[in-house]
């Protein structure tokens, strides 16, 4: 693989992609609707983190395995929570898609993957969901990304958010190669999978299938904490629900996620804040960035 240049992603970049305006009379539908499909009996917190982040930006529905759905409903009283049937190993059963069919029409964004278990059965579920929600921007994280191992059938409205180890697993490249040539790895994966790829790391590389790419270098070590990626996936989904195209939603999510970490680092130190604290920083950051990106 050969590294080629990418464009820096900064606040100045976002001026080209301002958030769709919410008028003074806008109701909750004006923020757009995001569906977060996540969690398992062993990792229910991943669904909570992704959903909370998405709710800070857009309107929210959660779909979760039936054994954790009631707990999520109590934890996030602002959201509708749909309980789905589980596989014997705690994954999402493909029959659960039927319960989500009524909200497919008009849904702007779908986040799948945080906290999922039972890879083979859940991948069947993800494949069915991609077909059902083909009109939505779809963010795939964690185990849901394994769907690309079956073939490049995604589209420009699908976003994958792997870490280096996950990229190695999905692409078949050695992790060392991914770490040494992250831009090339992200670019080749985006072209092969026909999807947008945000390869997370000390520098996050965002690549499109057409070869265009951006690099964000403003993250800090504190973001390397458990659940941080779940929060990022929820943020990207929230921005897509607000009406931003996939690339722009990804850029906003990556930058806001990092700036939230920086705000916490200033108060608590570079390392040691928790992923659950990131979402609380989002509204003020979005307000500030929104004002800065307006003409």
Predicted confidence at residue 150, as pLDDT, reads 78
Q: And the tokens for 209?
A: 């299938």
Domain boundaries, the chain: 26-293
Residue range 236-271, pLDDT digits in tens: 999 999 999 999 999 999 999 999 999 999 999 999
Is the pLDDT reported for residue 22 higher than 80? no
Cβ pair 132, 153 in contact under 8 A:
no
Q: What value does the mean pLDDT take over residues 130-152? A: 91
CATH 1.10.3720.10 describes domain 26-293: no
Rounded distance between C-alpha atoms, residue 134 and residue 125, angstroms: 14
Q: And the tokens for 32?
A: 């757009």
Residue range 181-213, pLDDT digits in tens: 999 999 999 999 999 999 999 899 999 999 999
Sign of CA dihedral 161, 165, 168, 169: negative
Quickly state the pLDDT bin for 229 (edges 50, 70, 90). Answer: very high
- Only one residue has tokens 């959903």, namely 51
Is the pLDDT reported for residue 142 higher than 60? yes
Quickly state the pLDDT bin for 24 (edges 50, 70, 90). Answer: low
The single-letter DSSP state of residue 18 is P
pTM here is: 0.95
Predicted confidence at residue 250, as pLDDT, reads 98
Rounded distance between C-alpha atoms, residue 210 and residue 245, angstroms: 15
CA 62 to chain centre: 14
């Amino acid at each position: 693989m050969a590294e080629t240049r990418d464009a820096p992603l900064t606040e100045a970049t976002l001026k080209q992609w301002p958030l769709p305006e919410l008028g003074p009379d806008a109701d909750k539908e004006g923020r757009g609707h995001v569906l977060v499909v996540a969690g398992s009996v062993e990792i229910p917190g991943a669904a909570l983190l992704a959903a909370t982040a998405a709710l800070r930006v857009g309107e929210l529905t959660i779909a979760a395995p039936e054994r954790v759905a009631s707990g999520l409903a109590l934890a996030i009283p602002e959201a509708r929570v749909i309980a789905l049937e589980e596989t014997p190993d705690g994954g999402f059963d493909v029959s659960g898609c039927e319960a989500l069919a009524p909200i497919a029409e008009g849904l702007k964004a779908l986040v799948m993957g945080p906290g999922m278990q039972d890879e083979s059965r859940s991948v069947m579920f993800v494949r069915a969901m991609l077909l059902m929600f083909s009109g939505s921007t779809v963010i795939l994280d964690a185990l849901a990304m394994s769907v690309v191992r079956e073939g490049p059938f995604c589209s420009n409205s699908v976003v994958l958010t792997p870490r280096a180890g996950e990229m190695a697993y999905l692409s078949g490249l050695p992790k060392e190669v991914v770490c040494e040539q992250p831009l090339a790895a992200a670019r080749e994966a985006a072209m092969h999978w026909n999807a947008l790829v945000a390869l997370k790391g000390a520098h996050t590389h965002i690549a499109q299938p057409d070869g265009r790419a951006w690099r964000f270098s403003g993250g800090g070590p504190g973001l390397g904490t458990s659940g941080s990626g779940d929060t990022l996936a929820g943020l990207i989904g929230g921005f897509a629900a607000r009406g931003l195209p996939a690339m722009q939603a990804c850029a906003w999510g990556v930058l806001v996620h990092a700036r939230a970490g920086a705000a916490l680092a200033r108060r608590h130190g570079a390392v040691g804040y928790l992923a659950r604290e990131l979402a609380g920083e989002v509204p003020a950051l979005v307000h500030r960035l929104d004002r800065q990106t307006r003409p």
